[in-house]
Structure 1
């Protein structure tokens, strides 16, 4: 933001981070999950947390790793808070007593009050195939959200892929990509002392 407009790095930006709260106890078949007394019931189980993105200071521009550590500290503190557990329980209660439409309405209202959304999936370490065609790579993003920017992070076969969905006519995708690559290069150089090799 700072490179687009001077002083915009101090703008108040809030991200909504979605967290998977499903407890994995090994693989369960769909037939097992739809049973009324299932140990791991069918459906999405998640919570979310609003995270204020730290403001960019002059020292952060000189040492971008400080900005990364600040952001990490904020997320670790929020993720460990009791609020995540309470949010998950609240969503379960709303679903139980008012139905899935009420949960959807609540989530949409929460999404409207944030600038961007971030979610991630830990993908398989082995290569997958679809109709006997090997899958070289994949990515995902949440669509239909009322935010200007939605980011999906996916690991697959030991590689990390970041996908971004930007609001049409509000965020220029090529400009956004350029600045994200520039930020990544700055962080990489600060961490390893050299520029990364170009992405495929």
Structure 2
């Protein structure tokens, strides 16, 4: 367990893996504010309400051959950075993107706690100012860090109240309901047999992916490792009411809707990148033939804690917590369907079918267990090689984390949006989704040498979701007429 309450424990296996130079991964959390940011107010806020987890006031020290978290005094001036910015910058949005992109080529000082907060008092198209955290991934995963963010913010409507923690329930083990005992026993046995079979199949495919199964080289996949290259972060937002409209009509989950829209957007993008105009029948047949031969998979980060969803920080820090702090996620290998469909809703149906199948498997737990096992039995080099092989043989990473349910303020500064992301991984493309109030922010981290125009990809993703939403609305209108 990754806790600091029992002295100075060594790093967990996953945290140790993130210390390897080829896998040094950082989390970036971009926050657009509705007002200009007062750095002195932020610093005073940190002094009065310090970051809740002691790891943010600890540095890494090697003791007895092991690297441990050791408490230390911090100087906020070393961690809260406020560059001087010309207020007359012609393209402020591009300036912010360039600033963050330049930081992705640098590392944090290991002699200090591994986080920074950068404050950019510059007005952009969707915020009056921008602040962003840069945090070493060894400190925690998305679930941990969102819990930390909620503990450091307050409701805009009530400055004394903590934000509401999003609730999430585990899905029932079976969709079948039987009235008699024999039927219930039969369904339970059948469900467990399916779980075992699916887990075995997924484990074999995971091993084969590590060994030799590679994704097709497409304009979205790097032919080489890109973790040491600068990344660029772009984002866009979707109204949650529109997502829920599709979700409710198609009787699926929000995650399925977003996966379906992503499949549609990637198909649209690749059609253009391959120089194919889909207007003619012959061209559509040619595109379909090309797409049938494309293998494009995503590693989807899954929270494998015994308690699902975001939890209060006090619960995560408690001894023997079922929602412990740290990097407690496994990867599920999700095959994206790159295909042309006349009905946009087919993308969502395909995503739901595949995700339902993946949920009936322990693949995420197996991937997490195998990482720890490789580290403990074979050492860091073997675990590093396995992790790199998996990431290099897949195309992208996809992560969806629930965020604050209402508008929040960060030490008195109301937040307009939150756009999370990571860099340092050997992928040319990653998706990070986070809900905030009544909107969903989709953040893309791209290698600009591979995806030279990420704004075009964002447009394709937004247009694809719009087509799905419009198709659902037409279906509802027809049902109301009938």
Q: Using the alignment, how far apart are the partners of 2:403 and 2:375 within structure 1?
A: 28
Give me the TM-score of the superposition, normalised by structure 1. Answer: 0.80
SS of the residue corresponding to residue 67 of structure 1 reads helix
Question: Which residue of 1 is the match for residue 321 of structure 2?
Answer: 39
State the superposition RMSD in angstroms.
Answer: 2.7
Q: Using the alignment, how far apart are the partners of 1:193 and 1:107 within structure 2?
A: 45
Question: Which residue of 2 is the match for residue 19 of structure 1?
Answer: 302
Q: Is the 8 A contact 1:30 1:42 kept in 2?
A: no
**1:124/1:102 CA distance change after superposition, 3 Å:** farther
Q: Greater CA radius of gyration, 1 or 2?
A: 2
Indicate which of 169, 177, 181 corresponds to 2:458.
Answer: 177
Q: Using the alignment, how far apart are the partners of 2:379 and 2:296 within structure 1?
A: 31
Q: Using the alignment, how far apart are the partners of 1:101 and 1:24 within structure 2?
A: 32
Structure 1 residue 115, shift from structure 2 partner = 0.9
- Is 1:122 matched up with 2:440? no
**1:63/1:30 CA distance change after superposition, 3 Å:** closer
- Show CA shifts across 1:53-83 (max 9, x none): 11304xx1x1011122112211221132132
Number of matched residues?
188
Q: Is the 8 A contact 1:94 1:102 kept in 2?
A: yes
Indicate which of 333, 336, 347 corresponds to 1:53.
Answer: 336
Question: Which residue of 2 is the match for residue 3 of structure 1?
Answer: 272
Structure 1 residue 133, shift from structure 2 partner = 0.7
Question: Which residue of 2 is the match for residue 165 of structure 1?
Answer: 445
SS of the residue corresponding to residue 140 of structure 1 reads strand
SS of the residue corresponding to residue 138 of structure 1 reads strand
Q: Using the alignment, how far apart are the partners of 1:46 and 1:179 within structure 2?
A: 29
Q: Using the alignment, how far apart are the partners of 1:74 and 1:166 within structure 2?
A: 25
SS of the residue corresponding to residue 423 of structure 2 reads coil
Indicate which of 334, 339, 344 corresponds to 1:64.
Answer: 344
Q: Using the alignment, how far apart are the partners of 1:94 and 1:129 within structure 2?
A: 42
Indicate which of 422, 430, 433 corresponds to 1:142.
Answer: 422
Q: Using the alignment, how far apart are the partners of 2:378 and 2:409 within structure 1?
A: 40
Structure 1 residue 49, shift from structure 2 partner = 1.1
Q: Using the alignment, how far apart are the partners of 1:142 and 1:128 within structure 2?
A: 23
Q: Using the alignment, how far apart are the partners of 2:376 and 2:316 within structure 1?
A: 22
* More displaced stretch, 95-104 vs 68-77: 95-104
SS of the residue corresponding to residue 186 of structure 1 reads helix
Question: Which residue of 2 is the match for residue 73 of structure 1?
Answer: 353
Structure 1 residue 28, shift from structure 2 partner = 4.7
Structure 1 residue 175, shift from structure 2 partner = 1.9
Give me the TM-score of the superposition, normalised by structure 2. Answer: 0.36
Q: Using the alignment, how far apart are the partners of 2:437 and 2:384 within structure 1?
A: 33
